[in-house]
Amino acid sequence: MVIVSWIILGLVAGVIAKILLPGRDPGGLIGTTLTGIVGAFLGGWISTRFLDHPISKDPFDFATWVAAIGGSLILLIVYRLFFGNSRERR
């Protein structure tokens, strides 16, 4: 059950990040979910390492959601910095 809740957290965090940063990004449902899951790990690592605020392993904690969405936004920004022009229509 914990794995399913983390997948749902990743999906919702990825969707929220894509809403906050609209544009053409890779992936559909699976890509968005993976962006959210990796973003959650990245946000948790940044929060623990640099902000001295460890994240709870409870997927229903508010700080976990903020870290997941923030990490997903960072991933989308980095993606656009490296591959931003490759997805434009010509």
Q: Please report how the helices 29-49 and 2-20 are oriented relative to each other, as an axis angle in degrees rounded to 10.
A: 90
- The pTM (predicted TM-score) of the whole model is 0.80
The pair of three-digit structure tokens given for residue 37, joined into one six-digit string? 């899951």
Number of domains in the chain: 1
Q: Tens digit of pLDDT for each residue in 40-66?
A: 888 888 888 888 777 777 767 787 888
Specify the pLDDT at position 1. Answer: 63
Angstrom distance (rounded) from CA 35 to CA 18: 10
Range of the domain at 50: 25-89
50 inside domain: yes
12 inside domain: no
All residue ranges of the chain with pLDDT < 70 are 1, 26, 59, 85-90
